[in-house]
Amino acid sequence: MSEIKAISLFVRPEFENRGIETAVVGDIERRLSVWERVSNMDPVRKFSVLILLVVSWELYTRIGNVNELMFPTFSATAAALVKAFVEEGLLTNIWNSLSLLLTGYVIGIAIAAGLVVLGVWSRFGADLLTTLTAMLNPLPAIALLPLAMIWFGLGSSAIVFTLLHSIIWPVALNTHAGFQSVSETLRMVGQNYGLKGLPYIYKILIPAAFPAILTGLRIGWAFAWRTLIAAELVFGGQVMDTSGQLGNEDSNAGGLGWIIFANQMENQTPYVFAGLFTVIIVGILIENGIFRNIEDRTVRKWGMQKA
């Protein structure tokens, strides 16, 4: 007991600063050095990684004495890409692919929207939507292509049908989940100002769930783009076997997948690489050019998603 010392309060005199002086630590805001600022720029860092990859590719194929047919040099691929663009109408092939994709995308979103509205309005609709999504979402769209070819024959409608499958489920699933997570407070605010039915959906639910909807649109687009290229590859094979309604070489009616397939048949490996690159470039352009832009102007600006 005696070892526990009674701790007494140390009472100190009070004080108050009269007129707080300007701080003397230096500038409140100081510009970082040029090197720090440049290395903080995301595009600069990513571009350097790209350069590094290209240089190692070129060096590997030249020094390693690799067979041109297996793995062409970067310069040969780049030259093939430019040639394909300028002389062989690669832009037409890109457009062929994109127009198919857009058709499927628009129809798919419309169907998904219908399903989600049903899901908002009735419990049966919600059950239908969740069950269908749970069943069909795991099914890769390309697995439906054979069936689509039986139903619609060899043509763009078969491809659009497969695309629909890859768009509807992710978009519907994410939108529905987004609607369900709209806070009770926002719902009550909407009802307070007399909003009901469709205006309530597009004035409150859609903007409030927009981060989730945008995610769904992105996933749908990415699935559809992969499915489209794969479907065109399959069609390429079909066209070679049969008379060739789609992607006939003279008419240049095929899409990007067909380009890859056709060049492989002719052992034009640099063109196969060029085709793959085009698929990547278009993908990046749409992701960064369109989706990133929409995101910056909406959910980021509204602070619904961290910058």
Partner 1 sequence: MASGITTTEAADLQSAASPPSAPILDVNGVTIQYKTKEHLITATYRVGFQVFPADRFVILGPSGCGKSTLLKAVAGYLQPVEGEMRLKGNIIRDPGPDRVMVFQEFDQLLPWKTVKENITFALTNGGRCDNARDAEEIAMEYINKVKLDRFENTYPHMLSGGMKQRVAIARGMAMEPDILLMDEPFAALDALTRRQMQEELLQLWEDTKFTVLFVTHSIEEAVIIGSRILIMSPHPGQVKAELNAHEQSIATIGEDEFASLQSKIHNMIFADRVLEDETLPNV
Q: Which residues bind partner 1 (CB under 8 A)?
A: 183, 185-186, 188-189, 191-195, 199, 203-204, 207-208, 210, 298, 301-304
By beta-carbon proximity to partner 1, the closer residue of 17 and 185 is 185
Task: Tell me the torsion sign for CA atoms 214, 142, 159, 271.
Answer: positive
| Cα dihedral 71/76/81/85 (nearest 10) | -140
Tell me the closest approach of the beta carbon of residue 172 to partner 1, in angstroms: 22
Length of the chain: 307
By beta-carbon proximity to partner 1, the closer residue of 204 and 239 is 204
The position carrying tokens 């909807």 is: 213
Tell me the closest approach of the beta carbon of residue 291 to partner 1, in angstroms: 18
By beta-carbon proximity to partner 1, the closer residue of 22 and 185 is 185
| Cα dihedral 141/144/146/150 (nearest 10) | -130
Distance CA 100, CA 256 (A): 11
Task: Tell me the torsion sign for CA atoms 210, 215, 216, 217.
Answer: positive
DSSP type of residue 33: P
Tell me the closest approach of the beta carbon of residue 189 to partner 1, in angstroms: 5
By beta-carbon proximity to partner 1, the closer residue of 22 and 183 is 183
Tell me the closest approach of the beta carbon of residue 181 to partner 1, in angstroms: 12
By beta-carbon proximity to partner 1, the closer residue of 99 and 191 is 191
Tell me the closest approach of the beta carbon of residue 174 to partner 1, in angstroms: 18
By beta-carbon proximity to partner 1, the closer residue of 211 and 270 is 211
Encode 49-60: b = buried (16+ Cβ within 10 Å), e = exposed: eeeeeeeebbee
By beta-carbon proximity to partner 1, the closer residue of 208 and 274 is 208
DSSP type of residue 15: -
Tally Cβ neighbours within 10 Å of residue 264. 15
The number of C-alpha atoms within 13 Å of 272 and in the hemisphere containing its C-beta is 16
DSSP type of residue 144: G
Tell me the closest approach of the beta carbon of residue 214 to partner 1, in angstroms: 12
Whether 173 and 216 have beta carbons less than 8 Å apart is answered as yes
Tell me the closest approach of the beta carbon of residue 112 to partner 1, in angstroms: 21
